[in-house]
Structure 1
Amino acid sequence: MNVQNPQPAIGLARLEQRLAEDLSFLELPPKEWVPATEYDGKRVHDAVVIGAGMCGLVAAASLKMLGIHNVVCLDRAPEGSEGPWVTFARMETLRSPKQLTGPALGLPTLTFRAWYVAQFGAGAWEALGKIPKDQWMDYLVWYRKVLSLPVRNLVTVTNITPVSDDLMALDASDGANGGQERLYARHVVLATGRDGLGGGYLPDFAQNVGRRFWAHSADEIDFAALGGKRVAVIGAGASAMDNAATALEAGAAGVDMIIRRKHMPRINKFTGISSQGVVQGFAGLSDDWKWKFLEYTLGAQTPPPRDSTLRVSRHPNGRFFLDTAVGNVRENGGKVVVETSRGDLEYDFVIFATGFCVDLDRRPELKNFAPFIRFWKDVHEPAKGAANGELATSPYLGPDFEFLEKVPGSCPALRLVHCFNYPASLSHGKLSGDIPAVSNGGRRLARGIARSLFVADREAHFANLVAYETPELLGDEWTDSAPLLSETSKGAAE
């Protein structure tokens, strides 16, 4: 690239034209091949994807690129607010390097880089540091539009019920019109994010104080109301830093980061081994080795981004209390007292940046399946000293992200529900929650669903094979010559 004369912006219309040409050259998406089916007078969806954030869009796009068109994504958020990017993700920029192709599915013209350069030019791309998170949301909105992905917003799935071993019913409430409806699907994909199988993790003692005194970092928080207040943030991860910085920027009188560890983690271990070897090979590891990789990584902890940490420390009223364990919280005269290993500390508000947990009791849509789902704790005994509660409660998934039965034969329809969210990491690696390898995860998921659909419809496909009668030869391509008889043959014939 000539930096002195960088490529000018071509505009999104031209980029979209190029993308359409690329898809045409690759014959994508292919024609629909799954036989249409009905139940109770309704068309059955080949797949219903719950969630239209990044993972949900990638799942739908991957299915479409394999000719599976009868798919719908359902998301409870308004259009443009799917996923965490403009809600509880309070960082300024993504931590992922800008050049990662993320959800582009191998198409150069579908990358964030192509989208950005088309609007702002190559010079602006070279000058860009990290991707602003609101701009990432804008890109995902464009991604959905340009691929014509079928998303319905303001729809909340309230229940999933097996109709048979091969069919699911989904009950949903439509926030746009206040109605209730039932959909039918042959496969269900849970693209429901970090809290997709539970919710935010809270220590039990959080319940000792009234709800007005605290929030989880993934909650809606009125930061303006924290102006002039003293705030504690419990935790040291990315969300802890981003919530602390947001409170400081909103005018909090002071924010204390209460951190159990003596030292902040500094090295992101998974970044150090990121490769296609890990992406493609992790699922092939033995259970012992999968556990070893993830237990070591969780034990080392992922450091918060440097920018997020500096965003806190640039404020003189932002303090870091390392080597400080929290044992309890209690109310006292309109304040909340945090009991720590360095003594009692008093605040107006506490933010628990304590991560997420698997808790199926908090997912009413999964109540019919919860007793039957196999978890790692059901099948794997970790090595001595390697126990980990978060890993133990991870679902033990099949090769297509499908749930497996705790007791074989107890719920055959469970194989139709695919866990394409963060808790899948122990079974498949980080293919369904983070940007770097999400396209690989989407393609693995889609290939598995395509295979399952074809096998289930094998009789129909064989009947189509038998019925296919379009000739390639028309019969006029040659002349049938009579055999020449030898003289001996002629004599014998006479």
Structure 2
Amino acid sequence: MDQDSETLIIGAGPFGLGLATYLQKRQHDFRLVGHPMAFWKRHMPAGMLLRSGVEWHLDPDNQWTIERFLTERGESAEQAEPLALEWYLAYCEWFIRQAELPVQETYVAQLSRNETGFRATLADGSSVQARQVVIATGFYSYAHVPALLSELIPSARLRHTRDAIDLAAYRGKRVLIVGGRQSAFEWAALIREAGAARVDLSYRHDTPQFTVSDWSWVEALVAGMVAQPGWFRQLPPEEKEVHRLRLWTEGRLKLEPWLADRIFQPEVGLHPRTQVRAVTEKPGGLSVTLDSGEELEVDDVIAATGYQVDIRRLPFLSESLLTDLEITNGFPVLDEGFQSNVPGLYFSSFPAGQAFGPFFGFTIGVRAASRILGAVLNRQ
């Protein structure tokens, strides 16, 4: 069955939901395709706590806020923070209901261009014809595992954090986590609490501080981009680097203080300023040698090595569309309205980070992206 729509939004994570809400309130003809919050539900572990606060809600019109959700539940921000993954997903489900968002719960199998716009073939057998398309998919396709780890560690014993969410599978096991940022330390705490016999972390830098991050300055910058969408791209390279470094400092060089007591435990070993140098497979496990000379006996290795955008890894983009798309450093080249060089094709969320700043890898960017992009789509 073919369906026509002015705008197709691909992805029902935070950025897709925020944009859909903006368009819905303005009676824009759109179709939203994706499984709501699927990455958060399927690729984040139970018991995870979020770094975002109650002010990082999804509604660009500030109606269906986390504060309102708290009020309806009779809870305070102090009671809710730090936000548990399960709690945040409950907010997102409530948000979808309140905004009355029509979500077509399937995936796009292929997106291609034709004479009237774009045609999306869906996994449920239907298709959508749209004049303009917004790709608002998040992190899933960009999981990064360094080549060295892939070469040294047998694939059966190596998982990226994206796929290491069955915590019970690590009960009684010795686990090495490669990486030293928030996700690495939180996975270590959760795996230990799930009954792992031993958890070691190897990372190239000093151990980050367990201290509260200051995100207050980010919200003002991102909100200001609604009036000046080209603000970040117009900065001199050295000023862009200042903002990247400051965000890196808050998001990567600090660990949430509620992790400290969960990490400094007898079963957890920290190995700062180290890298994996050699791996030998033995019956029942691996012998891992770090470049410090330390040797670790482990059963499984988890790569907490983050995500790197490479738009070519999106599985549904047709070859002809990829050929036409201008890409720099893996990112699509975007104008001030999030539009790529392919007319009518827009990118939001993580892939917009090169053009609009690293803030768009966090949910704090949802509302600004929705307002900028929504206004552009309505004008078109």
TM-score by length of 1: 0.68
Q: Which runs of 5+ in 1 are unaligned?
A: 1-40, 175-179, 377-391, 405-413, 453-494
Match of 2:146 in 1: 203
Q: CA deviation at 1:311?
A: 5.5
**Alignment equivalent of 1:284, drawn from 231, 236, 240:** 231
1:422-442 Cα shifts (integer Å, max 9, x gaps): 121221135644232311110
**Which letter maps to 2:14?**
M
d(CA) in 1 for partners of 2:346 and 2:297? 45
Match of 2:334 in 1: 397
2:172 match: secondary structure: coil
d(CA) in 2 for partners of 1:91 and 1:59? 28
| Superposition map of 1:233-272 within 5 A | 233-264=177-208, 271=215
Residue 189 in structure 1 maps to residue 134 in structure 2: yes
1:425-460 Cα shifts (integer Å, max 9, x gaps): 2211356442323111101111111112xxxxxxxx
Residue 317 in structure 1 maps to residue 277 in structure 2: no
d(CA) in 1 for partners of 2:240 and 2:277? 29
Identity among equivalent pairs (%): 23
Mapped contact 1:260–1:326 kept (Cα < 8 A): no
**Which letter maps to 1:147?**
A
1:14-41 Cα shifts (integer Å, max 9, x gaps): xxxxxxxxxxxxxxxxxxxxxxxxxxx9
Residue 45 in structure 1 maps to residue 1 in structure 2: no
Q: Which runs of 5+ in 2 are unaligned?
A: none
Match of 2:67 in 1: 113
Residue 439 in structure 1 maps to residue 367 in structure 2: yes
Q: CA deviation at 1:105?
A: 2.1
Match of 1:142 in 2: 94
Q: CA deviation at 1:91?
A: 5.6
Most deviating of 81-90 and 140-149? 81-90
**Alignment equivalent of 2:298, drawn from 347, 356, 379:** 347
**Which letter maps to 1:222?**
D
d(CA) in 1 for partners of 2:245 and 2:257? 25
Q: CA deviation at 1:341?
A: 1.3
Higher relative contact order (CA 8 A, sep 6+): 2
Mapped contact 2:222–2:359 kept (Cα < 8 A): no
Q: CA deviation at 1:372?
A: 3.0
d(CA) in 2 for partners of 1:159 and 1:265? 44
Residue 227 in structure 1 maps to residue 186 in structure 2: no
Mapped contact 2:160–2:303 kept (Cα < 8 A): yes
Mapped contact 2:286–2:299 kept (Cα < 8 A): yes
- Aligned residue-pair number: 371
The 1:298/1:371 distance shift into structure 2, 3 A limit, reads farther
Higher strand content, 1 or 2: 2
d(CA) in 1 for partners of 2:81 and 2:186? 18
